[in-house]
Structure 1
Amino acid sequence: MASGGRGVTAAFSLGTGLGAGLVVYLLLGWWPALLAGVLASALACQWLAERYRTALQQVVQVAGEIAAGNMEARANPASFSGELAALATALGEIAQRQRAALRDLVRERDTVQAILNSMSEGLVAVDQVSRVIVVNAAAEDMFGIAQEAVCGRYILEVVRHTGLDACVTKVLETGEAVAEEMALFPGQPNSYRLQVSPIKQDGERVVGAVIMVQDVTALRQLEKMRTEFVANVSHELRTPLTSIKGFVETLLDGAVENVEVSRRFLEIILAETERLQKLIEDLFTLSWLESRRLEVPEEGADVGVAVGRIVELLGPQAEAKEIGLAMEIPPDLPPVRMSPQFLHQVLVNLVDNAINYTLPGGRVKIAAAVCGHEVKLEVQDTGIGIPPEDQARVFERFYRIDKARSRALGGTGLGLAIVKHILENHGGRVSVASVPGEGSTFTCFIPFPG
């Protein structure tokens, strides 16, 4: 095809020269004819060269735009002939293939970034000299950074923590993964688990590292709570069992022959057994409340009826301690979004606590009122009160302000935790306000049905 184009050009130039020479020869003779032919051929060649030069410039310009990233640039093959038309066609095909390849790369990059951003763990990737190359959304939030601002910077500049930098350096040098747990931010108690893994090329050469960062603070707190819970349960079970075992051994050693002593010991064993039974029941109740969502009956519970039964049930206990027990319940109070069984359990725990921690001559009052779309239920006492530093923790399992007094009164340390879980499972809440030496007020908010 190239030789064909050159042949057409040569033929055109030769034909133009011969034609002009023939005309002059007929008019003026052979010598002027020769000069005229040469001159005409030169002019024709110049015209063709200029035409090709302009066309070639257009092709070069299009090629430059494609190289600069403009994949839409095109040279129209119909505007050229011969080799230039073929070149224009080839450039268009190259640009089209490159545009398709670039589109696939962008789609793949966006997919990878979307996957990284969907991760709850922070992810940072660095190259072989610890310069940041990728940061996902979780890491941006965790470290307060933006990927555009930190890419290309060293990891120690981005996260100023020598422990993290040391882990990355070790992985880049050894090619082996490293897992550590550390606090990354001074002044914050949060714990973070770091998993640094090498990025290998051809299975051997380390070309970077991936840092996975997971906030394990909540997990560690749960582990601590579980450990404390097991320790508390063991202690609460061991104490009455030790007492029971001791009294049984004493009876077996001969004390059973003394009717008065044996009766007193048996009464203590019965009390400790009842305490164990109550502890186990409370543990089962709390476990049941924490493990499932409660179904609330549509009709709800009548607060006035529930409070009346509590006063009837615990009235003798209050009277025995010379404590006044009163109720202040409006007659038109709407029902609450809670079953009568759970409302009874909430009131029993709160009122029983109030009576136990109120000195003789004191008062306990149960009051209720409508507050927005909820019923506000209060249990007030004039008891010993709760120190400010303990008020935020009284709803924790096994938390006692006065452990000896609580055990002497038969408490398990689970009553207020059960109250909190019942209310939260029904969409309610509970709080406490107290002044040491003056008394406490436990306030519950329980929504209406529907």
Structure 2
Amino acid sequence: MKGLRIFQTIQSKIITIYILLILMAMQLIGIYFVRTMERSFIDNFAYSLKGQADVLAGFAEPYLAENQSAASSAEGKKSYAELNGIVNNLFNINDAEIQIIDANGIVLTTSAQAKTGLIGQKNIQAEVVSALQGIKDIESETIDNNGQRRKVVAQPIGDGAKVLGAVYIVASMESLYGTMNRINKIFLSGTGIALTLTVFLGVILAHTITNPIKAITRQATAMAEGNFNQLVSVKGQDEIGQLGNAFNHMTNRLKEALSLNEEEREKLASVLSNMNDGVIATNDQGVIIVVNRQAKQMLQLGNEDITERSISEVLGIAEEKIGHYVQNEHQTATIQIGGEEEGDFITLRVVFTPIHRRDKGITGTIAMLHDVTEQEQLEDARREFVANVSHELRTPLTTMKSYLEALDDGAIEDPALAHRFVGVMRNETERMIRLVNDLLHLSRLDSRNALISKVPTNIPDMLEEVADRFSFQLHQKAISIEIDAGADIQSVMLDRDQIDQVLDNLVSNAIKYTPEGGAIALRATLTEKAWLEIAVQDNGIGIPRKDLTRIFDRFYRVDKARSRNMGGTGLGLSIAREIVKAHGGTIALDSELNQGTRVTFALPVQQMEGEPA
């Protein structure tokens, strides 16, 4: 098969076709020419021999007629000698034998010196017999013992019905065939020259056809590799030129189409990469073909390549359920992904949308991932908040109702008992008022309607005033308090009333959860980054580590029964956090069970000092 590779190119095929066509034409022409020339030469040769036979018959007729008359034998012999001279001198044909035969078939004379022994013998050749019967223009071809081809011509001598004899000529045709062979060689040489010129011209002509095709092929290969900057050189307006123009036009159109496609793909990639939602696209087999960065982050896959993986495996949803979501109107599913910490989950809402293609039905699926963790947490917080508020209000209201029913049942008649019941109801009412006030305060902080009025505030004086406000409670539980304010801290811009509320909540909690004889410390420091840090530390009962993450949640209590009995609403730390955040600061709590608690909040000093008083 390797030998046939040369026929796999258009150029070789064109050259081969030209050679075959020329060769076939030359062969047909050669066969016709040779056959015609051969027939013509043979016919001319035979015609020449017949003509000579006719002339010789005319010369020999008087001799034969005289020989058959009553003339003397001496005169007859004389006539045959003259006839022999005529045959040998006038009608001598190269490489030929001429015989004069009488009516009885006896050879009278011959031009072949080697066959003079035939004179007087009878010639019984078929041509001679036919000629003696009066048949004219007899000819045939024979091959002698030496393999030479000879032409035999026999012509009767005499006129009319009386045949006096015959002229018998046997001439060699080798010279004629030699001439024909030379002509054939010349013809073959011409054919070879013609074929050589045909190959040369075929190569040139094939180049004019194949070179543009090769150029188009190279351009097509370059296009397949992504190079659209080259164009085919068009040198004419023939079919190949028109093909080149069409190919160049197609190249430009394809370049524009790919450029637009690339722009659209970049836009799509930019949109996908900057979307807040995750996007996953699959084929009709459910295998992921496109995924954006946000989807990987939501699924906590990092930089892992999840293409070529099943969407069922990645989302953890059975293929049957995914097919159900895609095929039906209810196309939304909710999944949970484990968070970095134990017990922490990310909730994702997945919306499945089928990809339809004309005449092919569904060819893929797009899954949109929405992080609804915060929404779920807010919803849970809302439900928990409503439940907590309801519980906080229901407890005092239930107490008040029971005491009112007791008073209505006759306890009002007992002044001491009635006074005690009224005191309990007053305490519960004040507790509800504090709860409602705290809720309103939180609502204003959440809606950012609470005004922050910053004024120059002396930090040491502010801490001393906080200690004075709680001096009675401190004295009751024999709790010592230490105030430590750096010498470099004097006047700072802040909302005095709001920060006082923060300190009151923190100191109040410290007093509540510090046993008798304990200690509380208030410290204020100025950091290198110009932040004011105020810390409230106690050596009380502390907070379990498992509760630290939720200690700032609203209505969250470590010991719910004890906190409620102490009159707390569960909103103090939440209000403190919101006030600090409104000042642009941060708050943190660190505690060890039975070791004490430290609450630290930091406020940006530079920002406040730049504001007007």
The TM-score normalised by the length of structure 2 is 0.60
More RCO (CA 8 Å, sep 6+): 1
Q: Does structure 1 conserve the Cα–Cα contact (< 8 Å) formed by 2:457 and 2:496? A: yes
Q: Which residue of 1 aligns with 2:381?
A: 225
Q: Which residue of 2 aligns with 1:25?
A: none
The 3 A distance-change label for structure 1 pair 175 and 125 is farther
How far apart are the structure 2 equivalents of 1:427 and 1:305?
A: 23
Q: Which residue of 1 aligns with 2:252?
A: 96
The structure 2 residue matched to 1:63, chosen from 186, 207, 216, is: 216
The 3 A distance-change label for structure 1 pair 67 and 152 is farther
* 1:338-389 Cα shifts (integer Å, max 9, x gaps): 3111111111111111222223333333222222222222222333333333
Q: Which residue of 1 aligns with 2:28?
A: none
How far apart are the structure 2 equivalents of 1:105 and 1:311?
A: 72
Query: Identity across aligned pairs (percent)?
Result: 32
Distance apart, 1:145 and its partner CA: 7.2
* 1:218-267 Cα shifts (integer Å, max 9, x gaps): 32222222211111111101111111122222222332232222221111
The structure 1 residue matched to 2:336, chosen from 173, 183, 205, is: 183
Matches within 5 A, 1:1-12: none
Q: Does structure 1 conserve the Cα–Cα contact (< 8 Å) formed by 2:589 and 2:597? A: yes
How far apart are the structure 2 equivalents of 1:87 and 1:390?
A: 80
Q: Which residue of 1 aligns with 2:130?
A: none
Distance apart, 1:151 and its partner CA: 4.3
Question: Which residue identity is paired with 1:422?
Answer: I
* 1:400-437 Cα shifts (integer Å, max 9, x gaps): 22222222221111111111222233232223333444
How far apart are the structure 2 equivalents of 1:328 and 1:140?
A: 50
The 3 A distance-change label for structure 1 pair 49 and 93 is farther
How far apart are the structure 1 equivalents of 2:400 and 2:545?
A: 37
Q: Which residue of 2 aligns with 1:380?
A: 537
Matched position secondary structure for 1:183: strand
Matches within 5 A, 1:228-377: 228-292=384-448, 300-336=456-492, 338-372=494-528, 373-377=530-534
Q: Which residue of 1 aligns with 2:352?
A: 196
How far apart are the structure 2 equivalents of 1:389 and 1:177?
A: 40
Q: Does structure 2 conserve the Cα–Cα contact (< 8 Å) formed by 1:420 and 1:430? A: yes
Q: Which residue of 1 aligns with 2:92?
A: none
Distance apart, 1:126 and its partner CA: 1.6
How far apart are the structure 1 equivalents of 2:234 and 2:379?
A: 73
Matched position secondary structure for 2:601: strand
Q: Which residue of 2 aligns with 1:117?
A: 273
Question: Which residue identity is paired with 1:442?
Answer: V
1:169 aligned to 2:319? Answer: no
Q: Does structure 2 conserve the Cα–Cα contact (< 8 Å) formed by 1:327 and 1:365? A: yes
The 3 A distance-change label for structure 1 pair 185 and 348 is closer
* 1:109-151 Cα shifts (integer Å, max 9, x gaps): 222222222222222122222222322222243443779x554
Question: Which residue identity is paired with 1:424?
Answer: K
Q: Which residue of 1 aligns with 2:551?
A: 394
Q: Does structure 1 conserve the Cα–Cα contact (< 8 Å) formed by 2:337 and 2:345? A: no
Q: Does structure 2 conserve the Cα–Cα contact (< 8 Å) formed by 1:397 and 1:413? A: yes
Matched position secondary structure for 1:431: strand
The structure 2 residue matched to 1:53, chosen from 206, 209, 222, is: 206
The structure 2 residue matched to 1:410, chosen from 550, 561, 567, is: 567
Question: Which residue identity is paired with 2:396?
Answer: P
Question: Which residue identity is paired with 1:169?
Answer: G
Question: Which residue identity is paired with 1:355?
Answer: I
Question: Which residue identity is paired with 1:359?
Answer: P
* 1:188-241 Cα shifts (integer Å, max 9, x gaps): 733322222222234982222111223333322222222111111111011111
Q: Which residue of 2 aligns with 1:422?
A: 579
Q: Does structure 2 conserve the Cα–Cα contact (< 8 Å) formed by 1:337 and 1:446? A: no
How far apart are the structure 2 equivalents of 1:150 and 1:67?
A: 35
- Greater shift, 314-323 or 44-53, is seen at 44-53
The 3 A distance-change label for structure 1 pair 423 and 184 is closer
Q: Which runs of 5+ in 2 are unaligned?
A: 1-186, 608-613
How far apart are the structure 1 equivalents of 2:546 and 2:270?
A: 46
Matched position secondary structure for 1:410: coil
The TM-score normalised by the length of structure 1 is 0.80
How far apart are the structure 2 equivalents of 1:402 and 1:160?
A: 40
How far apart are the structure 2 equivalents of 1:175 and 1:393?
A: 41
Q: Does structure 2 conserve the Cα–Cα contact (< 8 Å) formed by 1:65 and 1:73? A: no
* 1:59-91 Cα shifts (integer Å, max 9, x gaps): 21232234332433322223x463333332222
The 3 A distance-change label for structure 1 pair 246 and 122 is same
Matched position secondary structure for 2:551: coil
How far apart are the structure 2 equivalents of 1:145 and 1:352?
A: 46
1:446 aligned to 2:603? Answer: yes
Question: Which residue identity is paired with 2:600?
Answer: T
Question: Which residue identity is paired with 2:324?
Answer: K
Q: Which residue of 2 aligns with 1:13?
A: none
Q: Which residue of 2 aligns with 1:19?
A: none
Question: Which residue identity is paired with 1:445?
Answer: A
The structure 1 residue matched to 2:361, chosen from 180, 183, 205, is: 205
Distance apart, 1:294 and its partner CA: 6.7
Distance apart, 1:337 and its partner CA: 5.0
Q: Does structure 2 conserve the Cα–Cα contact (< 8 Å) formed by 1:62 and 1:73? A: no
How far apart are the structure 2 equivalents of 1:444 and 1:87?
A: 80
Matched position secondary structure for 2:214: helix
Q: Does structure 2 conserve the Cα–Cα contact (< 8 Å) formed by 1:192 and 1:217? A: yes
Q: Does structure 2 conserve the Cα–Cα contact (< 8 Å) formed by 1:171 and 1:177? A: yes
Question: Which residue identity is paired with 1:283?
Answer: L
1:131 aligned to 2:287? Answer: yes
* 1:242-295 Cα shifts (integer Å, max 9, x gaps): 111222222223322322222211111111111001011111112222232876
Q: Which runs of 5+ in 1 are unaligned?
A: 1-34
How far apart are the structure 2 equivalents of 1:84 and 1:277?
A: 97
The 3 A distance-change label for structure 1 pair 160 and 362 is closer
The 3 A distance-change label for structure 1 pair 85 and 38 is farther
- Greater shift, 240-249 or 269-278, is seen at 240-249
The structure 2 residue matched to 1:105, chosen from 258, 261, 264, is: 261
Larger radius of gyration: 2
- Greater shift, 181-190 or 254-263, is seen at 181-190
